[in-house]
Amino acid sequence: MQPQILLLKEGTDTSQGKPQLISNINACQSIVDAVRTTLGPRGMDKLIVDSNGKATISNDGATIMKLLDIVHPAAKTLVDIAKSQDAEVGDGTTSVVLLAGEILKQLKGYVEEGVHPRILIKAIRKSLQLCMEKINEMAVHIEKQSEDDQQRALLEKCAATALSSKLIHQQKDFFAKMVVDAVLSLDDLLPLNMIGIKKVSGGSLEESQLVAGVAFKKTFSYAGFEMAPKSYNNCKIALLNIELELKAERDNAEIRVDNVKEYQKVVDAEWQILYKKLNKIHESGANVVLSKLPIGDVATQYFADRDMFCAGRVPEEDLKRTLKACGGAVMTTANDINASVLGQCEYFEERQIGSERFNIFQGCPNARTCTLILRGGAEQFLEETERSLHDAIMIVRRTIKHDSVVAGK
């Protein structure tokens, strides 16, 4: 029997042993050095420009690690560490990368001396056990039944700590209160997707506000929109995935007619189909009509004449949040629309915030939700503010779910 020969793919690197371990540690060290200066209250922000020329200014470890185009497979594990920390805890993404890098740095000397990796891993596991015991000793337990004021003060401190190294650290007290209000306004499971964050350029950071309900930017609208009412009490909401617009049928089909009357019948049939849909929506008793697809000028005018508000091309994320908060169902046909599939809320209004107009639904009965509307100067600044608040929100959620906190230095 001839021995089987395995041919590796061309370009495959089969290096192993001590040199490869040292190479891996060195690669991780270079990544650590790239993010080291962002740590702490005096940490510096990084300006990263991607291949498309889009610039991102950030202090968030996970964001920087994602944007760095890392090729080395061992160094990529550090990116995974930062991502998992961001998903699970929210804050401390830079810290975990630096900690991992420092442990590797300390082990490098032992690897060079020929100590087997198994022995090193055993030592790390032992040190991890000792660290966990020490952390549990130092942890401060929060009594769930303790006074609400005490718990709130602690949550605000946790949020402020998460914000202290961010770009918005000067307004950390203002935002810490807002973040705690946002998380406490949710249901017991604290679903992250029920906190919406919207950005409006212009104004100062202090003009940012928390809306107790669903809010999204006014969508593209056709003629006749200004005639529609801008506020309702106890409104009923129709959520649709229907296009309420006259389509140019020549784009979709070919119709051959031999006289004008036949052509007129085709045009009339098209109008009748649209009017039947609009009439059924009106008869359902809805005041507000939201659709994922466009609502044309005929439909806009039709709804405005009947004191109904409509918005087409609503982003899917906002439609889903409205559905969860206000109830009802997203309908794909106008035939089955009735009172049972309509969402409800206590108050709806369209409000001007800075240069944008927002549609706001408050007093939603099904699920508790809120929206943070952020104000600020440049777009990059607002994006970094959003990332900072995401970290703070995650920390407050985690503090509520777990009953212990460890103070840091």
> Which residues, including other chains, have CB under 8 Å from residue 1's CB and lie 6 or more apart?
none
| Structure token pair of residue 250 | 């020549």
Rounded alpha-carbon distances, angstroms, from residue 204 to 170, 354, 389: 13, 10, 16
Q: Which residues share a beta bridge with 161?
A: none
Decide if 375 contacts 174 (C-beta within 8 A): no
- Cα 268 from Cα 397, distance rounded (Å): 57
Catalytic residues: 60, 93-94, 391
Decide if 89 contacts 398 (C-beta within 8 A): yes
- Cα 313 from Cα 316, distance rounded (Å): 9
Decide if 142 contacts 403 (C-beta within 8 A): yes
* Amino acid type, 270: E
- For 240-305, where are the alpha helices, taking DSSP H only? 260-283, 297-305
- Cα 355 from Cα 27, distance rounded (Å): 47
Nearest CA-CA partner of 366 in 407, 321, 333: 321
- Cα 71 from Cα 73, distance rounded (Å): 6
3-class secondary structure, 151: helix
Three-class SS of 63-124: HHHHHCCCCCHHHHHHHHHHHHHHHHCCCCHHHHHHHHHHHHHHHHHHHHCCCCHHHHHHHH
Query: Positive or negative, the Cα torsion across 35, 193, 359, 392?
Result: negative
